[in-house]
Amino acid sequence: MQESPQPIDDQQLGFWQQHRYLLLIVFSVAISVVLVGVSMTLYYTSGAEQLDLSRPGYEAVAEQVEEDAGTYDSYSAIGDINEDSINEFEELFTGQAKRATDVDAFGGSPLGPEALGID
Amino acid sequence: MKRAVIMITLAACLTIVLAGGVVRAQSTSPTEIDDEHQARIVANCVSAKQAIRQVQRYDAGLRVNHGQVYEALSARLMSRFNTRVDSNGFNTRSLRAVTEFFDKSLDEFRTAYQVYARSLSSALAVDCAKDPVVFYNAVSEAADARETVHTSVQKLNDTITEYRSAFDAFKTAFIERTAL
């Protein structure tokens, strides 16, 4: 004959066993807080924050960002070197270099005291 | 004689220490601003902050777009061309040297932009109506940081020109070699 399990009295359990569900929740929350803290630290220190245009106030800027996939051509690292392959590279490089050098990025003095009216 | 040498050494050390202190004091001391100037800063600080926010948004887009262009130049074109030329048995020393310098300059650009973005955020966090002098100095610091970013962009553009020269030299040598 099989013995039926006996109910355990709360007083027979230790402190940790009595509060095991509460402790599970507290530890889970604590671990999540630590992990979120680590990821936020990485987000700020790695510079990802500055590239994140989904931040509030940057929605309009996000629309101006060029789509990477379609706009940048790649040159194959495999293959022969002949006049055609050199000319192909030259064409791609010239186009891309023009993109980089055409605009005087971060030039001018928009943060100068005169420009801001605080001179 | 020995005493004179000790005195000269001590004097030299003292001069270096004092000079260092003066340089540090000059670089960290805030700009002195008279009351009239402070009143002007307080009067225009709201519009100045709006202008700074516009610059912040514009520069964020510029950073992403320009960063992509430079990364694509390095990873999708220069490095791949170097690999292809190298695998065909040609000398790529000059092309590789310029590419390495370009990648280093790209790292400097990333770091310079981080410093600039942080200094801009710090300037915007200052209550310009309460602390006009702190605000003015924070904006000046951000302007200097932006100039550093501009310098790093110019360095990258110069390196692109250098790569172009190295590429032209390679192309000329290749044409001469195949013509023989």
- The dihedrals phi and psi of B24, each to the nearest 5 degrees, come to -65, -45
Which of the four pLDDT bands, split at 50, 70 and 90, describes residue B171? Answer: very high
Lowest mean pLDDT among A45-54, A99-108, B126-135, B142-151: A45-54
Per-residue pLDDT, A13: 76
Instruction: For residue B73, count other CB atoms closer than 10 A to its CB.
Output: 25
Residue of A nearest to B142 (CA): A111
Q: Which of B12-26, B99-113, B129-143 has the lowest mean pLDDT?
A: B12-26
From the list B44, B59, B68, the residue facing A68 with the nearest CB is B68
Count other C-beta atoms under 10 Å from residue A53's C-beta.
19
Contact of B68 with A66, CB cutoff 8 Å: yes
**Does the pLDDT of residue A69 top 70, yes or no?**
no
Type of residue at B42: V
Lowest mean pLDDT among A99-103, B12-16, B144-148: B12-16
Whether chain B has a CB inside 8 Å of the CB on A107: the answer is yes
Q: Which residues of A touch B114 (CB under 8 A)?
A: 47, 50
Average pLDDT, chain B: 87
Q: How far apart are alpha carbons B58 and A58 in whole angstroms?
A: 9
* Predicted local confidence at residue B27, as pLDDT: 43
Task: Please name the residue of chain A whose CA is at the shortest distance from the CA of residue B112.
Answer: A47
Cα–Cα distance, A81 to A91 (Å, whole number): 15
Note the pLDDT of residue A39. 97
Task: State the pLDDT confidence band at A78, using cuts at 50, 70 and 90.
Answer: very high
In terms of CA atoms, which chain A residue is nearest residue B68?
Answer: A68
Q: Tell me what pLDDT residue A30 has.
A: 98
**% of chain B residues with pLDDT over 70:** 82
Neighbours of B32 (CB within 10 A): 7
Q: Is the four-CA dihedral A65, A66, A67, A72 of positive or negative sign? A: negative
For residue range B67-79, what is the model confidence (pLDDT) as tens digits?
999 999 999 999 9
The DSSP annotation for A79-114 comes to S--SHHHHHHHHHHHHHHHHHHHHS-TT-S-TTSHH
Is residue B106 within 8 A of residue B74, CB to CB? The reply is yes
Please give the single-letter amino acid code of residue B171: K
Which tens digits make up the pLDDT trace of B110-137?
999 999 999 999 999 999 999 999 999 9
**Chain A hits for B78, Cβ within 8 Å:** 93
Nearest to B61 by CA among A58, A5, A89: A58
- Span of A15-24, A69-78, B92-101 with lowest mean pLDDT: A69-78
Closest by CA to B115, choosing from B63, B72, B70, B46, is: B63
Please give the Cα distance from A36 to A75 (Å, whole number).
Answer: 40
Residue A19 in contact with partner chain B when CB distance is under 8 A: no
Q: How many CB pairs under 8 A join A and B?
A: 146
Ranges A59-73, B36-50, B102-116, B162-176: which has the least confidence: A59-73
Chain A residues close to B67, C-beta within 8 Å: 51
ipTM: 0.76
Q: Do the Cβ atoms of B32 and B132 come closer than 8 Å?
A: no
Least confident among A57-66, B116-125, B141-150, B157-166: A57-66
CA pair distance A95, B26, nearest whole angstrom: 45
Closest CB to B143: pick one of A47, A64, A109. A109
Cα gap B135→B127, rounded to integer Å: 7
How distant is the alpha carbon of residue A56 from its chain centre?
15
Which residues lie closer than 8 Å to A57 by C-beta, 6 or more apart? Answer: B53, B57
The answer, for A88 touching chain B at a CB cutoff of 8 Å, is no
Rounded to the nearest angstrom, the minimum Cα separation between A14 and chain B is 52
Partner B contacted by A56 (CB < 8 A): no
Q: Is the pTM of this model over 0.90?
A: no
